[in-house]
Structure 1
Amino acid sequence: MSMVTLPGLQEMIDGISRERNLPKHAVQAALREALLKGYERYRRTHRPDTSIFDEEYFNNFEVELDIEDEGFRVLATKAIVETVDNPDHQIALEEVQEVAPEAQLGDTVVLDVTPDQNEFGRMAAIQTKQVLAQKLRDQQRKLVQEEFQDLEGTVLPQARVLRFERQSVIMAVSSGFGQPEVEAELLKRDQLPNDNYRANAVFKVLLKRVSEGSHRGPQLLVSRADAGLVVDLFANEVPEIEDEIVRIVAVAREANPPSRSVGPRTKIAVDTLERDVDPVGACIGARGSRIQAVVNELRGEKIDVIRWSPDPATYIANALSPARVDEVRLVDPESRQAHVLVPEDQLSLAIGKEGQNVRLAARLTGWKIDIKDTAKYDYEAENQKIAELAEQRRLAEEAAAAKRAEEEALEEEYDEEDDDEALEVEEAVETEAAIAPAADPETDAPAEEDAVDDLADDEPAALAEDELEDDAVAEDEADLAAELDEEDLDDDLDEEDLDEEDLDKEDLDEEDLDEDDDKA
């Protein structure tokens, strides 16, 4: 069997494996795919008509590496046929039986189609090198995907700064002790303003996402600004959280405030089902030792630990800590709006610098919070507004209910009309079926004879009908003539009447003359 030699094949595989933190079998798989692409390039350059080389043309070819002899072979699986149409995919039975007499039509055989060492060519070698680099990257991404997929949302304790790319920090992370390091990207929005990202500095980061696909750049995205990092840090520092005695209910974090004059801050709400356990004290620790460890890791970020409560008013008052609250009024529970009354000297503390404290409290509780001065709060006016708001909501609900009822009534009406139409159609179908004469199988046999007799009887009947029609036409003509005579007679009578009227007029004229003579 022929072979294309690759001097230093073993050393090349070992070097790539060490450099890219890939197992040797993954490097060998990538090399086989790259050499097969190089063979495809070799075949295309040695055949003028390349139109036959579609995407699946070389699926029956494979590359076999010979590590000991430092080379490779190209093997092709061909089908045994009587007449060969495609020599790359088929081989004649007669040719195979010369070396394998037991071969039959339809069987397959693997043949060595390795090109000559000198024929492989420079272009094929370049193609192999390019494909190898791409396949190695694909192998790396696949291994990273498998290694870190289950670690999304967890903290990686040892993230080491490697370099800077634009505004991002490229860090080296590993999935565990003794595992190879993989590059991860820390975007600008995920960085903390108090961090100093110098070379080889080590941080704890949260693994946000493991990217898929073949895009350029690191495959792992990490964060220092995610609220999940605070939760994980407290879970590591507070045994009661890990033992599920204390639970973290909600977290609101502003790691990158809109203004540089305001530092990062976090509010965390905790609770417990144990009566003899103080959840806030458990998170703070003796002399603040536990919370101080979290603050140090976050480079001095302010952290407020407050007690969660099922009562919204109490929960809101606790969330505004360290401010002292006089009263919390839930003015609109449906839209979750609350008025918080505080003394005048607590206004700035409750609102916080540039509104940060009340903003975080609102995000933590899920309520819209309005801070009010207790001394200036107008209860009567506010109660009037609350009543008007309640009335508007009641009217809106009634209108919505009426609209829904109307729509439901229309739908029911349409359904009834559809049912009536369907019933009418069914009744019409049943009526037609009842009117249509049922076919009698006994009368089907003499049907042709009856048809012949009817045809014979129809001829004199048709003649009689023609004679009747002629008589009817003659009668109609006679009636028409009689009507015309009557009309003429009527006209004559009308003329006679007119003559008589004229005579009467003459008599009247004569009488008038006689009267005139008498008067004279």
Structure 2
Amino acid sequence: MSKELLGALDALENDKGISKETVIDALEAALTSAYKRNYNQAQNVEVSFDEKKGNIHVYAVKEVVNEVVDARLECSLADALQLNRGYEIGDEIRFEVTPKNFGRIAAQTAKQVIMQRVREAERTIVYNKYSKYQDELITGEVERQDNRFVYVNLGKVEAVMPKGDQMPNEEYRPQDHIKVYVNRVEDATKGPQIFVSRTAPGLLKRLFEEEVPEIYDGTVEIVSIAREAGDRAKVAVRSNNEDIDPVGTTVGPRGQRVQTIVNELGGENMDIVQWTEDPAEFIANSLNPSEVVDVIFDDENEHACTVVVPDYQLSLAIGKRGQNARLAAKLTGYKIDIKSESEADDLDNESEVDEDVDNEE
């Protein structure tokens, strides 16, 4: 038992990086509880583990007192002085009370403690490793799927992809290799839980960093992303170098760079628009491919505006089921009301009539 235990402690330290001291502290605490439980003892006991020989000793700890009230916890000064003339009132004495058959209990307890420490260490290793991958892109292999999750093998750990993070235009089959975005890593009771996504805007940002060197090195910056996963996305970019066109750089020669990302996302359409400090210009850019005649800001709401577009481009500006306008609003952070030129003119005429009536009165 002693040699096996010492060998197990050495292996834990070398293979798992778990210090002997940590396991021994836990083992001594567990053996103390085991002694009290198995021998119906409520007295103050301590368990000591000999790190050199692997032997285990149980001691009853008693306080030196003038008059003994509880013999399990106290020792008279007279008895203490017979052991050592140096004892005084208030000192503690340890009497060995190791049972003859305690080795069997110790072996079982040691096994449980070591297994628990191994599990905890493995959980910590996994959590520490994958928490570093949070907000990063990682390639995994689809293992299986149920009504709640797609389970993705990331190597030594299984991640889960909830329904809301699954692309509506994709089917996930076992052994498929997919790129996923690590949304969050939780240190749950049953072990680290890793949540991944195919729909997060962060996934799109990381894909562009992989495909466009200028985005990766910071020459071109992604300012904001609006995405309806699997269908369409808008990406606002700007350049930190006046000589570089951020939109053209991101799209790539003949659209090759952006096309690679479109293919990765199963045909999700991409609008790359230029970010500018002028909010009116940025809002106009965000409604690409529609032309914009004017942007009128709401005096009562600084984050609301009316955008005027040519009559023949009204439906293009709004988009199918309002998607273009909706994505532009997400991208810019403005509430956008789109009107055609004729509608805007009618409103101007009505307001002029109202002003004339007010003046006559």
Q: Give distance in 2, aligned partners of 1:335 and 1:186.
A: 38
Count matched residues.
353
Aligned pair 1:37/2:27, yes or no?
Answer: no
Q: Give distance in 1, aligned partners of 2:10 and 2:144.
A: 27
Amino acid of the structure 1 residue aligned with 2:120: D
Which of 165, 174, 192 is matched with 1:199 structurally?
174
Mapped contact 1:13–1:24 kept (Cα < 8 A): no
Name the CA shift for 1:14/1:125 in 2 (closer, same or farther; >3 Å).
closer
Greater mean alpha carbon deviation, residues 241-250 or residues 338-347: 338-347
SS in 2 for 1:377: helix
Q: Which residue of 2 aligns with 1:227?
A: 201
Q: Which residue of 1 aligns with 2:212?
A: 238
CA displacement, residues 83-112 of structure 1 (integer Å, 9 cap, x when unaligned) = 677777777777788887777776667776
- Structure 1 residue 277 displacement after superposition: 0.7
Q: Which residue of 1 aligns with 2:238?
A: 271
Mapped contact 1:190–1:226 kept (Cα < 8 A): yes
Q: Which residue of 2 aligns with 1:459?
A: none
Aligned pair 1:23/2:40, yes or no?
Answer: no
Q: Which residue of 2 aligns with 1:154?
A: 136
CA displacement, residues 274-332 of structure 1 (integer Å, 9 cap, x when unaligned) = 22110011111122232233233333322211001222222111111122333333344
Amino acid of the structure 2 residue aligned with 1:243: D
Alignment of 1:240-389 (within 5 A): 240-255=214-229, 263-332=230-299, 334-374=301-341, 376-382=342-348
Name the CA shift for 1:130/1:162 in 2 (closer, same or farther; >3 Å).
farther
Q: Which residue of 1 aligns with 2:99?
A: 115
Mapped contact 1:39–1:120 kept (Cα < 8 A): no
Q: Give distance in 2, aligned partners of 1:201 and 1:12.
A: 40
Highest CA radius of gyration, 1 or 2?
A: 1
- Structure 1 residue 163 displacement after superposition: 3.7
SS in 1 for 2:56: strand
SS in 1 for 2:151: strand
Alignment of 1:74-89 (within 5 A): 74-76=57-59, 78=61, 81=64
Which of 152, 156, 159 is matched with 1:184 structurally?
159
- Structure 1 residue 65 displacement after superposition: 7.3
Amino acid of the structure 1 residue aligned with 2:33: E
Aligned pair 1:169/2:144, yes or no?
Answer: no
Q: Which residue of 2 aligns with 1:211?
A: 186
Q: Give distance in 1, aligned partners of 2:7 and 2:353.
A: 84
Mapped contact 1:245–1:272 kept (Cα < 8 A): yes
Q: Unaligned regions of 5+ residues in structure 2, if any?
A: 355-361
Q: Give distance in 1, aligned partners of 2:60 and 2:264.
A: 61
Q: TM-score, normalised by structure 2?
A: 0.76
Higher strand proportion (structure 1 or 2): 2
Q: Which residue of 2 aligns with 1:64?
A: 49
Q: Which residue of 1 aligns with 2:126?
A: 144
- Structure 1 residue 38 displacement after superposition: 5.3
Between 1 and 2, higher relative CO (CA 8 Å, sep ≥ 6) is seen in: 2
| RMSD of aligned residue pairs (Cα, Å) | 4.2
Name the CA shift for 1:277/1:368 in 2 (closer, same or farther; >3 Å).
same
Q: Give distance in 2, aligned partners of 1:167 and 1:234.
A: 29
Mapped contact 2:271–2:288 kept (Cα < 8 A): yes
Q: Give distance in 1, aligned partners of 2:83 and 2:217.
A: 73
Amino acid of the structure 2 residue aligned with 1:186: M
Identity of aligned residues (%): 35
Q: Which residue of 2 aligns with 1:507?
A: none
- Structure 1 residue 23 displacement after superposition: 0.4
- Structure 1 residue 360 displacement after superposition: 0.8
SS in 2 for 1:219: strand
Mapped contact 1:344–1:373 kept (Cα < 8 A): yes
Q: Give distance in 2, aligned partners of 1:85 and 1:293.
A: 83
